[in-house]
Amino acid sequence: MGILLLQFLSRYTDDVFNKGFSISDITKLILHTSLSLLGFSLLFGFLIAAMFSFRHFSNNREFGFKKEIISSSIIIIFISLVFFGFNNWLLPKSTLEMRSLLYEMRSTAPGEKIQRVDKDLFKDYHSMMTIKNINHKIDTLNIQIDEYNYQCDSVLALLPDSIAKDSYDRLSLADYGIKFNSSKADTMSERDIRYTSNYLRNYQSNLKSTIEQKQKYVKEKTSRILLPIELLLLFIIGASFGFFYNDQKGFLLVILGLYTSMFFYQNEQLISQNMFGNIGGTLFSMIILITVTIIFLIKALNKEQKITQPNTRS
């Protein structure tokens, strides 16, 4: 969290520290920023802590990897459930405070008093809503999508066949779930065709933006549900890697690489997102994470079996 907070402070130094704001306002911003970074910090924190802890015990013949990973995972599951509650109820409020205060500071000229803004302006952003409110927002967007679909269908029915088909293909309306129905209108004035085509483009544009907005809310909801699972998987990966990897220099390079990637990964949004959200989507990232977890766990169990075999023979 310290590394990510330093990254944040270095990014907004001119907007926060060089305008004469009070210590209480700066402290409040740092506090809420730290809470907004907690999710991403925990993912890396448990990963690195597990790597160091299980590496320390890897040469201990009395240390049972299978027994310890099971007991540790039970504790991590409990922590993940607590973290899910924090991520769903407390984190949106903290992110709202952080974003509104940062906006106020960036909008205030040096030497002037902070001009407070209405926080309701930020409440519709997906990272500042609970899963219950996100579901309500998704239902609302689904209604809007159905309405735009109906409007596109109605406009297509007004256009002549050839023009309707050309507009249907050119706007890629099939990608939005719209089915092409042949028009019954054989003749239509050029003016009416132009106006109707403009309406169709506007409806298609609104439909596209609404679907994209819905996808953001769905991704945020999925990310919050999967984040506790990611925490458990990353812990198992770190524990397994620390147990079976013997190269001291290589191990330190991996740790250094993790800290470096943590420093450069966080984006402008500064919210807890799926760790691999930029690599082909949430489901693909979870498949990668589960696959890596299984591979590393098998290698750690094989090493434990090799360690215990000599004792069994003796």
Look up the domain containing 86 and give its range. Answer: 2-313
3-state class (DSSP) for residue 177: coil
Task: Decide: pTM greater than 0.75.
Answer: yes
Closest CA to 3 of 47, 51, 50, 37: 37
Q: How many domains does the chain have?
A: 1
Q: What is the mean pLDDT of the chain?
A: 84
Q: What is the pLDDT of residue 261?
A: 75
200 three-class SS? helix
Q: Confirm if 233 and 293 have CB atoms less than 8 A apart.
A: yes
**CA distance linking residue 103 with residue 117, whole number of Å:** 8
**Interatomic CA distance for residues 265 and 44, integer angstroms:** 12
| For range 197-225, the mean pLDDT | 91
User: What are all long-range contacts of 20-26, with beta carbons under 8 Å and residues at least 24 apart?
Assistant: 20/110, 20/111, 21/105, 21/108, 21/114, 25/101, 25/105, 25/114
Higher-confidence position of 62 and 299 = 299
Query: How many separate helices (H) and strands (E) can be counted in the chain?
Result: 11, 0
Segment 184-210, tens digit of pLDDT: 666 788 888 899 999 999 999 999 999
